[in-house]
Structure 1
Amino acid sequence: MSSDPWGRVDETGTVYVRTADGEQVVGSWQAGSPEEALAYFERKYEGLVVEIGLLEKRVKTTDLSAKDAQAAIDHLREQVEAHHAVGDLEALRTRLGELVKTVESRREERRAQRAKQSDEARQAKEDLVVEAEQLAQSDQWRAAGERLRSLVDTWKGLPRLDRKSDDELWHRFSHARSAFSKRRKAHFAQLDAQREDARKAKEKLVAEAEALSDSTDWGPTAARYRELMTEWKAAGRAQREHEDDLWNRFRGAQDVFFAARGSAFAERDAEQTENLKLKEELAAEAEKLLPVTDLKAARSAFRSINERWEAIGHVPRDARPKVEGRMSTVDRAIQEAEEAEWRRTNPEARARAAGLTGQLQAAVDKLTTQIEQARAQGNTSKAEKLERELEGRQALLDQALKGLQEFGG
């Protein structure tokens, strides 16, 4: 009989392994010596040790799934429990038990990780849904549309949730995108309609602008062009493919008109500048009539000058007040001379002036006599009162005498 600390072979060739529960039959060995029998089953044990070691390493260092790891453990445990090896089988059971704990721990870690990832994915998708629903109300069509497309890409990169939750969130997300697309489509349909209305309105404005381009009714036509420009701005923009062409036609028609008006105004300005020169010469000729010494000759000369003045035509507006003012000054001087001559030669006016002078002279003489009498009587207060009255009558008499002199007497 042969034995070692973990097993023995009896005389019949039966091999035993020692366990905590007593000896267990490993197998029968008839092909050689008992030592060879123990050595064979010891190699079986070493094989189990190697396999368990490899499994421990795989569990600790690779992403071996818990299911596959448990299946491998169960397979090795069956071999250990079959007692077909000689060695410390209890130690192998202990290692397998620890390995089970490790696998379970890894399973819990992965379950927790998956739960965390699921929660993060849920939160991420809920955030995407909330943002999509906010963007669905936006009028920033380009930016919001691009952002929604970006959200779709982000959604596709997130893990799936449980089917019910994932479907509910996707329904909200998809509904928000559809709502935005519907609003954007309605907006651009309305915009297209507005631009079509603008195109029709601007076609009419262009037609009128082109019809006015050869008008020579400068003032009213220029005013109408300003009104057309106001209407153009109020009409809004037409479609891009029409807007530039319509504007070029509209602006071109205005350019034709204003170029013609500018040319006409240039000719008019040249003519009015020449007219101003002529009128300045006439104004200088008229000013030589002052002061008026010969009323009849001055009147005749001014009439001749004025007839030539009227025949000349318009001068530049900004120069008109000054040159016309010079002529008006000469005209007023001649009129004043005529009025003075009329007063001087009017017999009725002369008689009235002479009569008033006589009345005032008599009143002055009377007051002078009354003052002398009052002083002779010693009535000083009466004399002073009469003297104040005399001062007023004397002032009136002086004015009347001056007026009478104007009549030459």
Structure 2
Amino acid sequence: MSQDRTTINPALLAKAPTPATVTVHSTADIQAAKAFGRVADDGTVFVKDGDTEREVGQFASADEKEALTFYARRYAELKGKIDLVRSRLNAGTLQPREMDEAVTSLRDEVKEPAVVGDIPALRQAVEELASLADAAKKALAQAREEAREQSIAARTAIAEEAEKLAASITKRTNWHDMGEQFQKLFEQWKATQRQTARLDQKTSDALWERFAAARRTFNHERSAWIDSREQARAASRAVKQALVKKAQELQNSTQWRETADKYAEIMAEWKKAGNAGREAEDALWTQLRAAVDTFYAARNASRDEFFGTLHANLEAKEALVARAEALLPVADVAAAKSARAALNAIQDEWDTIGDVPFADADRIEARMDAVDKQIKAVEDSEWSQSDPEADARKSSFTLQLEAQLAELDEKIAAAQAAGSDAEAARLQAERDAKAQWLDAVK
């Protein structure tokens, strides 16, 4: 007798719960399964298993219908297990290990099952499941290999991009931008680890080492650049500190031109010294500017004072020349002598006054000279009136003055047309003087 032979108490059958995994089959399915069994007079249940018949159990104190129905339901449950595994295979929810375990378990269950039904059909169904499982495992293995290749390709691309970045490093590399690029590649690497197939340790380590080596190259080169930059900044700081000290020593100098030239040299050296680092650069520049501003503020104040003095002198000389011009015209020799005495006193005051602005110097001097020449012309007329030769010279001098006045008129017009007001004023003063000479000679 088979080890799967069972003895069933009919009283318990009605109370037995239906297993949760059992597929409910139709009455027609149960009836079809019962056709493969029979019940002996003593209650022993037999099933036709291919070309043989074997005992599957004994159903005591029950009629044939109940006994066959019980074992037919067990057949249906076993068939339901096979159907369930098939549906999970088709859905792709089983892993290769689970497939193997399911096929092995079902093969054991259909060897000599204590059921009534088409047992060879169950065995065939299990073998079909085995074939399906083999195909599914191959497909899964192929998919995994493809996923693995994709994962390798994705990580290789990241490693190659990192190596390309490392190889592109030069003295002009923007380290901040390249650092961000490496960080972006690292984030891509982590995303690839999460989103693509897991690789074996050896392959994963090899690809990671390529990426890590490129990043180490970047970090090494950036560190070297930082060290070099710090050395350059330290040298720049030393130079600029010396320049600040030199500028501070000059800030109270009153040698305006010489010191201004020295400050120009300091600024030129400052530009050549390079960058000392933002914090040090700002602090040193503030100190340098303070010294330079101190010097130039003092120079500007001195210049303002100097030009103020020049303008005050000009006002004083303008007043004196106005007094001198008020002496004119001189009618005769006696008047000339009186005018000469007054002019000498004015000229004495004139000599005590300092310089005037350069642009006004020639103009103001020409006005004073014109007064002197007119008085002198009258003084010289006393002896020239009784001298025939003097008359001739007088006529010649008159012609020269008239020619010079005509020439001066042309020059004045040209200066005014050119917008040179200072030159026009100077020429006009000269013309006025010569016009007065002409009047005196006539």
Note whether the superposition's TM-score is higher than 0.5: yes
% identical aligned pairs: 34
Q: Give the superposition deviation at 1:78.
A: 2.2
Deviations 1:184-226 (A, max 9, x none): 1111111101111111111111111111111112222223223
1:81 alignment partner, SS class: coil
Q: Which residue of 1 aligns with 2:426?
A: none
Q: Give the superposition deviation at 1:64.
A: 2.4
Amino acid at match of 1:128: I
Task: Tell me if structure 2 keeps the 8 A contact 1:9–1:15.
Answer: yes
Task: Tell me if structure 2 keeps the 8 A contact 1:80–1:93.
Answer: yes
Pair 310,233 (structure 1): closer, same or farther in 2 beyond 3 Å: farther
- Aligned counterpart in structure 2 of residue 190 of structure 1, from 214, 218, 228: 228
Pair 291,177 (structure 1): closer, same or farther in 2 beyond 3 Å: farther
Q: Which residue of 2 aligns with 1:357?
A: none
CA distance in 1, matches of 2:217, 2:339: 94
Aligned CA-pair RMSD: 3.9
Q: Considering Cα pairs closer than 8 Å and 6+ residues apart, tell me whether 1 or 2 has the greater RCO.
A: 2
- Aligned counterpart in structure 2 of residue 279 of structure 1, from 317, 320, 326: 317
Q: Give the superposition deviation at 1:72.
A: 0.9
CA distance in 1, matches of 2:157, 2:38: 70
- Aligned counterpart in structure 1 of residue 52 of structure 2, from 10, 14, 23: 23
CA distance in 1, matches of 2:266, 2:121: 104
Amino acid at match of 1:194: A
CA distance in 2, matches of 1:49, 1:88: 10
- Aligned counterpart in structure 1 of residue 159 of structure 2, from 114, 121, 129: 129
CA distance in 2, matches of 1:9, 1:131: 78
Q: Does 1:72 align with 2:113?
A: no
Deviations 1:230-251 (A, max 9, x none): 3223222223443333222222
TM-score for both structures, normalised by structure 2: 0.66
1:27 alignment partner, SS class: strand
Q: Give the superposition deviation at 1:296.
A: 7.2
Q: Give the superposition deviation at 1:306.
A: 4.6
CA distance in 2, matches of 1:106, 1:292: 137
Q: Which residue of 1 aligns with 2:355?
A: 314
Q: Give the superposition deviation at 1:180.
A: 0.8
2:311 alignment partner, SS class: helix
Pair 252,28 (structure 1): closer, same or farther in 2 beyond 3 Å: closer
Q: Does 1:147 align with 2:177?
A: no
CA distance in 2, matches of 1:333, 1:313: 20
Task: Tell me if structure 2 keeps the 8 A contact 1:17–1:26.
Answer: yes
Pair 123,299 (structure 1): closer, same or farther in 2 beyond 3 Å: farther
Deviations 1:260-303 (A, max 9, x none): 22332333233222112112223333444667776777777666
Q: Give the superposition deviation at 1:141.
A: 1.3
Q: Give the superposition deviation at 1:30.
A: 7.7
Q: Which residue of 1 aligns with 2:262?
A: 224
Amino acid at match of 1:152: F
Q: Please give the residue correspondences for 1:3-402 in structure 2 after superposition, counting only pairs within 5 Å.
A: 4-10=34-40, 15-19=45-49, 21-27=50-56, 29=58, 31-32=60-61, 35=64, 37-61=67-91, 63-136=93-166, 137-138=168-169, 139-159=173-193, 160-288=198-326, 305-315=346-356, 317=357, 320-328=358-366, 330-331=368-369
Q: Which runs of 5 or more structure 2 residues have no equivalent in the other structure?
A: 1-32, 394-440
Pair 116,332 (structure 1): closer, same or farther in 2 beyond 3 Å: farther
Deviations 1:346-380 (A, max 9, x none): xxx959x89xxxxxxxxxxxxxxxxxxxxxxxxxx
CA distance in 1, matches of 2:338, 2:264: 54
Deviates more, 1:182-191 or 1:64-73: 64-73
2:56 alignment partner, SS class: strand
